[in-house]
Amino acid sequence: MGRNIRKRRTSMTAKVVAGSAALALGGGGLVWANFYASAHESGSGQNQVKAAGAQIATIQCPDVGQKLTNVPNGARSGVSTELANLDKQITEAYARLASTRQAQTNDSGFVQNAILGPLKDKRTAALDRIRINIQRAGGANPNLGQLAGCTGVPAEQPQTNDGEAGQDGGQQQDGGQQQGGGQQQGDGQQQGGGQQQGGGQQQGGGQQNGQGGNGPTAADFVDITQVQANAQLGVGANGLAANGRSGSRGTFTTKCGTNGNDNHNTDNVIVAPGVSNGAHHLHDYVGNQSNDAFASDQELAAAQTSCQNQGDKSSYFWPVLRVQDGSQDFDQNAAGGGTEGNVGKILQPAQAQLKFVGNKKGNVVAMPSALRIITGDAKAFVNGNANANVNWSCTGFENKVQLKDKYPICPQGSQVVRTTNFQSCWDGQNIDSANHRTHVAFVQADGTCANNFKAIPQLQVRLVYNVPAPTIENGTVVNPYAVDSFPENLHKPITDHNDFINFFSANTMNKLVKCINTGQKCQ
């Protein structure tokens, strides 16, 4: 089966973003402006580049979707469309930020006047349309005006490793200054010589650090053998394993492959239904083979599945992992791919383990059909880490080291591991919520569900990759790897996330629940 791409109408906004981005290289493929290039060298030209980079590295906007916890059902389609429009506006603004570094060097007010100001005007109009949608459907005025302004995040921010940045840190005031805690920053130094290629790579004398100035950077990597054991801390409050030695101790494993049939798209039917390229980055899909932005629940329920158990038509999807070794992939000139800074060779997981476990305090109940769960936050770098749920490690180290904001450099013979523990408490009523989060929750520290939520089977996803180990040379990362991300989130490891839509048949779900509650190991 080929890539999951339906014929669809290409939005004008997507064309504008792709076109403007490509123009940064004269149409030769996108390299997000590498404004750190040679910044460590002496000379007035290099100092000018460094000064430009020191001004603004990326754009931070309040995440409107997370604020909308009470949207009437009749307004959700229109609101989802406008939320996707807000993401497109940020992508356009970031593309302009990345392609105007010389103008920024010459004019200290350029970013505010030419990028952030117009972006605020566009966001104000979109927020007003959201308000109208909600009020027409009988909802209360959501008072979103204060979310219109965005911040230009300075390049040289102190690195933060504690993962405790606030959800609303760094919102813009009219003067364009940032409040609250800064986010980790720094990306895109250039090493060596060599001729530039499309899609952000170089050949010959060197490769750009990260995705053409769009990340990742040397600061995003750590030699796992040099990290103090922290596995207990690494799990954290988010992503806490729900099962233990008591309660419902069984497991149910479903085998759905590793996306060997290249089922990819840049949509997100949960967050942006009906919107092409709503994710602005590429997903791997296993299980359900019909998941794209335009799929209805009826179509998903009737779809083919890559799972061995044909009673599991659930959709499991996550951002692809790429290695930037100078090679390109099929989407190097496509929206969501190379034109939005997601470049390099896509790595297929060597293993994709999908396991459901129980609750250490008691039995679990069946998930409802079409239940949607998003875990982690694709925008955690600019949002703050409140919803981040990341565990990076290496085989042989998983019981010792779990990383939140670093990509591991694994020793020879060890593989990179991404592990995700999903929310396992459900409100008992809704298959989704306006912000796609409040209908589910993580267990509390003692394993119980708060607020009369019901314990449901916890999905645990473990992805294992054969990744050539990157190296750090003179402060620059060589042959880095990274997850795809929204362009302005700079491919930071903290942005990793995972998605699930339940389409187990009733019989298979009942078997799953019985296995878990009776302590069996089933598949």
Tokens at 335, concatenated: 């929206």
Radius of gyration of the chain (CA): 22
Q: What is the pTM of this model?
A: 0.83
260: region left, alpha or beta (phi > 0 left; psi from -120 to 50 alpha): alpha
Report the candidate in 131, 147, 127, 148 with the shortest Cα–Cα distance to residue 139: 131
C-alpha distances in angstroms, 250 versus 43, 57, 358, 399? 65, 48, 6, 21
Spatial CB neighbours of 209, under 8 Å, sequence gap ≥ 6: 36, 187, 188, 189, 190, 191, 217, 218, 476, 477, 480
Q: What is the pLDDT of residue 246?
A: 80
What is the DSSP secondary structure assignment for residue 497, as one 8-state letter?
E
Distance CA 156, CA 147 (A): 25
pLDDT interval class at 211 (50, 70, 90): low
b/e per residue, 149-172, with b = 16+ CB within 10 A? bbbbbbbebeebeebebebbbbbb
Is residue 243 over pLDDT 50?
yes
What does the longest C-alpha to C-alpha distance in the chain come to?
71
What residue has token string 């951002």?
319
The mean pLDDT value for 114-124 works out to 98
435 pLDDT more than 90 = yes
Residues 6 or more apart whose Cβ sits within 8 Å of residue 100: 33, 110, 114, 115
How remote is the C-alpha of 335 from its chain's centroid?
16
Q: Over range 225-244, report the average pLDDT.
A: 71
- pLDDT one-digit tens code per residue, 163-200: 333 333 333 333 333 333 333 333 333 333 333 333 33
pLDDT value for 231: 76
Residue 276: per-residue pLDDT: 96
Give tens-digit pLDDT for 22-60.
333 222 223 333 332 222 233 333 333 334 444 789 999
Residue 479 has pLDDT above 50, yes or no: yes
Per DSSP, the residues of 310-325 read TTB--EEEEE-EEE-S
Return the pLDDT at 240.
66
| Exposure string for 474-494, b = 16+ CB within 10 A, e = fewer | eebbbebbbbbbbbbbbbbbb
Provide the percentage of residues in the chain whose pLDDT is more than 70: 76
Please give the average per-residue pLDDT across 459-463, as a whole number.
Answer: 98
Please name the helix (run of DSSP H) or strand (run of DSSP E) that holds residue 226, with its range, or none.
none
352 exposure class (CB count in 10 Å sphere: 0-12, 13-18, 19+)? buried
Average pLDDT across the chain, whole number: 82
Q: Which amino acid is at 322?
A: R
Are 316 and 342 in contact by the 8 Å Cβ rule? The answer is no
Q: Looking at the DSSP assignment, which residues form a beta bridge with residue 497?
A: 376
On the question of pLDDT at 306 being above 80, the answer is: yes
Helix (H, G, I), strand (E, B) or coil at 374: strand
Looking at residue 238, its pLDDT comes to: 59
Residue 204 pLDDT grade (very low, low, confident, very high; cuts 50, 70, 90): very low
pLDDT band at 156 (very low <50, low <70, confident <90, very high): low
Is the model's pLDDT at 3 over the cut of 60?
A: no
Q: DSSP characters for 384-424?
A: -STT----EEETTTTTT--BSS-EEEPPTT--EEEEEE---
Is the pLDDT at 367 greater than 90? The verdict is: yes
Q: What is the pLDDT averaged over residues 278-301?
A: 98
Tokens of 134: 């909600």
Mean pLDDT of 218-233: 89
d(CA 321, CA 329): 12
Residues 6 or more apart from 205 whose CB is under 8 A from it?
192, 193, 194
Cα 442 to chain centroid, rounded: 19
Q: How confident is the model at residue 30, as a pLDDT?
A: 31
Whether pLDDT at 388 is above 90: yes
Query: How many whole angstroms separate alpha carbon 487 and alpha carbon 489?
Result: 5
Given a cut of 50, whether residue 90 has pLDDT beyond it is yes
Residue 20, classed as helix, strand or coil, is: helix
Q: Using 50, 70 and 90 to split pLDDT, how confident is the model at 239?
A: low
- Peptide bond connecting 216 to the previous residue in cis, omega within 30 degrees of 0: yes
- Cβ–Cβ < 8 Å for 148, 64: no
Query: For the residues 62-79, what does the mean pLDDT come to?
Result: 95
pLDDT tens string 51-67: 444 478 999 999 999 99
Helix (H, G, I), strand (E, B) or coil at 159: coil
Please tell me the distance from the alpha carbon of residue 513 to that of residue 499, in angstroms, as a whole number. Answer: 21
Q: What was the pLDDT predicted at 194?
A: 31
Q: So what's the pLDDT on residue 488?
A: 95
Tabulate helix, strand, coil % of the chain (nearest 5).
25, 20, 55
